[in-house]
Amino acid sequence: MNFNFFLPHKFRFVGLILFLLGIIAAYIRFSLGIKPAVLTLPVFSLYSSFLETKTFQIITNNISEEIVALLLLVGLLLLNFSKEKIEIEQTDKLRFRALITSVFVNSMLMILSTLFIYGFAFVNVLMLNMFSQLIIYQMIFRFLIFRNRKKLFIDGIS
């Protein structure tokens, strides 16, 4: 079961850098509350709903949140879809196991959030859910690689 749609291994480093930049940018934007004025730009909007609803129009928006989301998403996608140094059949099995487990864990977290978190806090949970599936997958996959490192080392991954 060898998948050929993975990116070369060097993209993993790029993904890690983008992800870390996204974490830093998220801290600056959301924890410190900084919205740089230079990022307030006219952008094309398919749909925008603030004080009034606008469709298919140019609006003025601070794009700091969008930059954070793009850094995190692109970084995580590159991390998750980059090959290991040496890809073997065992790696594919671990990827599949990590995927199934991460879907289950993320679904359970969403069910619990739906039952116990209300109001605007739930909107925050939904925003975090954009990234949680990819983060949970990466954590589980790295754990499985670590746990099976002796067997993988013998089979060809160093």
| Domain edges within the chain | 1-83, 84-158
pLDDT at 102: 97
pLDDT at 85: 85
pTM of the model: 0.85
Q: Is the pLDDT of residue 156 over 90?
A: no
Determine how many CB atoms are found less than 10 A away from the CB of residue 71.
20
pLDDT at 89: 81
Strand 53-62 with 40-49, pairing: antiparallel
Q: Is the pLDDT of residue 14 over 80?
A: yes
Phi/psi region, residue 72 (left: phi>0; alpha: psi -120 to 50; beta: rest), is alpha
Span 84-120, pLDDT tens digits:
887 788 888 999 999 999 999 999 999 999 999 999 9
CB 71 within 8 A of CB 27: no
